[in-house]
Every structure is written in structure tokens, then in C-alpha cells.
Amino acid sequence: MAEIAIIGGTGFTKLARLEVTRREVVHTPFGEPSAPLTHGLLNGVEVVFLPRHGSGHTLPPHRINYRANLWALRHLGIQSLVSLAAVGGIRKDMRPCRVAVPDQIIDYTWGRKHTFFEQDLTHVTHIDFTEPYCDALRQALIEAGRRAGLDIVGNGVYGATQGPRLETAREIDRLERDGCDIVGMTGMPEAALARELDICYASCAVVANWAAGRGATASITLDEIDRNLKQGMQTASDLLTETMSGLSHG
């Protein structure tokens, strides 16, 4: 049975090197996940894959049923989860096409169903979220990146914004003052829900564009995002493949 899952974001509705074995529809008490769960082998390791925005990339970040996605993965026995996510680069070294493995999160999202601990509680639960990502999985990704000689940044503060619009230049200034290095729309509540379910969670953030007001151009185009994601996805895909080989060899 697979213990590791991959959630793919924008640009990752499929995993190029996944040998698909079957698809499974899972219904949850929280509604339907973004898509059927795809079982397969990645570099010989059993994994489950789920496209976060749906198979046809139709779900915007604020409409994703994060609770159903996480619950479904837990239901299948998943213990470790790698999130692939497109982000904008704020810090100088977070240039387009690079892949970062962030180590912190600041949450600016609102109005999303962000907890499993809501109803029918016997007591109030506060999860520890001091370190929002699972360090063992982060290190496995960073080590794999080193082994494969990939262009990976092994840290970064992920600012989670509401979307679906991109930010204003002054909003990015504010995020930078807060300490954010990259900005994306799906990192929360996904990471917190994973922690609530005791799933070890880490993220590969693919920089798709300079954040608003940071690049040489006056605006951000979808063309630019698509082009950079294609290249960054190649790196992320190499990184995942190498990470699996590390996991299967101990």
C-alpha cells in the first residue's frame, strides 16, 4: 500500500513519470476531493497522486475542498505528502524556474474551511504548528536535490494569499516586510490540515514568475507563468523521482 502521496498544483495535473495502476474515487464526510485518486509507481515506489485543481484544472484556490483532499489521502493510509505548488518569487534568489523547499508559512487566506476540529468535539484541540512542514520530508527532498545536482533552494517563507487574483505591488512589499520569500495561493489550509491528520507534509514550490512589482516587466502574464512552469516542473519532476529512489533504498 502506498504511504506517500503527491498533490500536484498548477502545471501538474499529471505526473509525467508516474506509471498509473488504477484510479480510485473516494467520498469523504467533508465532500468530494478535487479528483479521483491515482495510484501508481514513481521510480518503482508506490504513490498516490491527486491534482489539487481537479483533473481539468477547473478549481480555483479558494474553491478547493482541502479537507476532502486531506481526509481522502489519510483514509488511504498516506503518511507522507509532497505538495507541488506554483509560486511567485519575492526574495532575490527566488527567481523564475527555481524550485524551493520552504520551511515556514504566513497565512493571509480567509473564509476557507481550515480545520477538521470544528464540530462534535469532546475537547478543544490546538495543534502545534511552530514548524509547519515535516522536517524529515524536507530534508529528504533537499538531499535528493543535492544528489541529482538540481537547482533547489532549501528554505523560504511561504506567504499564502487568497487569490485567485495575483497581488498588487504594494501587497508584495507588505509580504516582504512580513518576511515572506515566495507567495502562493494553496499552501494553506493544506499544511495545517495535514498536521491535524498527522500527515508528514512538505512542499516543492516552483517559482513561476517574479511576484508583482519585482520583475523587469510591468505586469505578470499567464504566458510567462506557463513558460517558466514548464521548465520548473522538469526540475520538480526530477526532484520527486530522485526523492523516491532515496526512499526505496533506505
Pairing, β 19-24 against β 104-107: unpaired
Question: Shortest gap between Cβ of 80 and ligand HPA (angstroms)?
Answer: 24
Distance CA 230, CA 237 (A): 10
Question: Shortest gap between Cβ of 9 and ligand HPA (angstroms)?
Answer: 8
* DSSP character string of 153-182: E---EEEE---SSPPPHHHHHHHHHHT-SE
DSSP state of 218: S
115: which residues sit within 8 A by CB, 6+ positions away? Answer: 189, 192, 193, 196
Based on CB atoms, which residue is closest to ligand HPA, 40 or 88? Answer: 88
Decide: is 183 part of the binding site for ligand HPA (CB under 6 A): yes
Decide: is 228 part of the binding site for ligand HPA (CB under 6 A): no
Based on CB atoms, which residue is closest to ligand HPA, 83 or 161? Answer: 161
Question: Shortest gap between Cβ of 107 and ligand HPA (angstroms)?
Answer: 13
Decide: is 96 part of the binding site for ligand HPA (CB under 6 A): no
Question: Shortest gap between Cβ of 92 and ligand HPA (angstroms)?
Answer: 15
* Site for ligand HPA, residues 160 to 179, rule: CB under 6 A: 161, 166-167
Q: Is the dihedral of CA 158, 159, 162, 168 positive or negative?
A: negative
Decide: is 88 part of the binding site for ligand HPA (CB under 6 A): yes
* Site for ligand HPA, residues 195 to 214, rule: CB under 6 A: 208-209, 211
Q: Are 111 and 233 in contact (CB under 8 A)?
A: no
Size of the site for ligand HPA (CB under 6 A): 12
Distance CA 168, CA 239 (A): 32
Question: Shortest gap between Cβ of 54 and ligand HPA (angstroms)?
Answer: 17
Q: Are 59 and 53 in contact (CB under 8 A)?
A: yes
Tell me the per-residue interface mask from 108 to 147 with ligand HPA, x by CB under 6 A, - otherwise.
----------------------------------------
In three-state secondary structure terms, 194 is helix
Based on CB atoms, which residue is closest to ligand HPA, 101 or 183? Answer: 183
Q: Is the dihedral of CA 44, 57, 114, 131 positive or negative?
A: positive
Stretch that binds ligand HPA, among 123-131, 135-143, 147-155, 159-167 (CB under 6 A): 159-167
Longest dimension (CA), the chain: 54
Decide: is 86 part of the binding site for ligand HPA (CB under 6 A): yes
Which residues of this chain interact with ligand HPA, rule CB under 6 A? 86-88, 161, 166-167, 183-185, 208-209, 211
